[in-house]
Chains A and B, each alone.
Chain A
């Protein structure tokens, strides 16, 4: 497919992989298990190689679930030297949604009889009482999966006698369409439409990760793709200047990710920390000003928002401005947010912070699977746990005797 295949070219991937290997590991000790197969080359073998090599290691966080998905789906880890380790960040909209927020939506649908519309994977996020929106639907709640905010507006127009609530989730990519829908509803006088706003902000989450005391040792970030088309590359500059962490904004195609990794390795080797842009075909420093204006017109900062994994983070999410209060489902239906602690055995919090890997969670792949997710990282294929389970678990599997 034109404009896609070019970014998935195996030969180019090999070239970039060779460059990464050469620059990340000039002595050539730590080779990828695939390029130079070892007997039972698993995670442990790689770890021991890293020790033998004595070279520095590169701990890079891809913030976005889109990158996590690309790394897993295309097997990019196989093309990286052992000294480069990718840490999956919290940039998956459904993964950072705390239980209490899903509960709120379920209560709306079950107790107030609204038509609750939301995007795809959100319906599978585990909530309290062993429920999810999908299970609430099976129990009779009117939950609808939509592709676009326009679908939610359409449902509201078609059912003037019913209240229609859009559970608005996502980072800066999905926020402008919500703003458009709210403005449209206001212009049309659509009184039976409202939103439950759970839109969150990427830079705030990155701050929260870096500000953790005794936090993670991260050497750099693969910066968001689609989010950056909206907010531009400028908001990441403090991560380079204040925290000394290189950021390379990358597209979601596998070659984008590999090129960004190479650029990060180069910055780290040079002792530099700058914001660089691999995704120049879509991202500018300023971003999409029109979208930013639209968002600013409709939304304002929430004082604090609870993230799954990151806890309560100030100024990290949006709510509707008072001017649009009539479309705020939280006010309209008086559904309070009640914080609910995560399952004790679930390591989603540490995984979302990059402190643990999915396979280090005791319930990974046993109690918690994509069919029965306990934590939200197991829900979306962009989540670290589901991605590792679905695409990469052969790497950490131990052969039973």
Chain B
């Protein structure tokens, strides 16, 4: 007669298993998924409290909070995956407010039938990104939807951080005369995704720039430069983000095409598909607007950081009743850099 193990459950089949409805039902299967996968990977003292929410120590400064949902397809792409992207995206949203990111929450919507091996890969990537950034995932949630009602996995992350006194960044603070700085090349993330989605291969692969920018931002804040606006140009790209700032601040801008760096494979892929890199998403770049007298100092600080080594001054804020973002072209002309209309669709011929 074999010995009975009263609390035994067979461990999750992380190799060939799949998400089923029971993983979201609140029962034993869900508890097992959380324990063996999420808690094991994210492991930290707050999560270990095992409660519905995390109790956190008192914060010293103004709290900043941001949230971001991630629905990227494909889930795995050159340079990253939905897991690390969901960590970087929210850390960046907190950090561009001038805050030091402290904690993250993570909420998963899983589709029935999603391979557990893929989920494991994603969760481990999140755990790695969160550990590398020094920002723990302290609470979370999991729901399962029926097959066909999701796209594998959606992840929503929320971040909390603190901003120290004296730091005041906002999209409405750009002033005529201010300089506009960009931390590096544009379009890498969007074209990495698009080229993979469309099955386009290039001799040099396009790699997403997904990265947590809080380290670079901390160095920029420490420089003492008079920063007015920080923002990460994600969806809609550089053009859309600058238009948002111009509108909020009631100013115009003049950019210089020659100062805006684009990696060659990205440029080639954009040419090929008829896209403009100014409108393509980034996940590891930031725009900084600062007082003109501090621009050079800020630029040096940015260039000294690995994530800002290709930083440049790309233009100036100017008075403009229409709030146009304009650009001097490499050819010597001028154009408007407008909001993105609809989705950026490739041109026909």
Binding site for B on A (CB under 8 A): 1, 4, 8-10, 13-14, 17, 34, 66, 69, 72-79, 93-94, 119-124, 134, 145, 147, 169-171, 173-174, 226, 254, 369-371, 380-382, 386, 389-394, 397, 399-400
Contacts and interface: CB of A to CB of B under 8 A. Distances in A.
B326 interface: yes
B42 interface: no
Contacts of B346: 120, 147
A76 B331 contact: yes
Interface stretch (B24-32, B181-189, B296-304, B333-341): B333-341
Nearest to A11: B332
A75 B333 contact: yes
Contact of A399 (B321, B329, B332, B341): B321
Given A122-B348, A226-B349, 10 more contacts: A9-B331, A34-B333, A66-B349, A69-B347, A74-B331, A77-B333, A79-B331, A93-B348, A169-B348, A390-B341
B332 A17 contact: yes
B5 interface: no
B347 A121 contact: yes
A79 B264 CA distance: 27
A94 B347 CA distance: 10
Contact of A120 (B324, B329, B334, B345): B345
Contacts of B348: 93-94, 119-122, 169-170, 174, 380, 382
Contacts of A10: 258, 330-332
Nearest to B198: A147
B48 interface: no
Interface in B278-334: 321-322, 324, 326, 328-334
A1 B267 contact: yes
B268 to A, nearest CB: 6
A394 B264 contact: no
A400 B322 CA distance: 9
A169 B347 CA distance: 13
Most buried by B among A120, A124, A171: A120
Nearest to A378: B341
Contacts of A397: 322, 324
B271 interface: yes
B148 interface: no
B217 to A, nearest CB: 32
A393 B345 contact: no
A136 to B, nearest CB: 15
Contacts of A400: 321
A75 B331 contact: yes
A394 B76 CA distance: 42
A124 B345 contact: yes
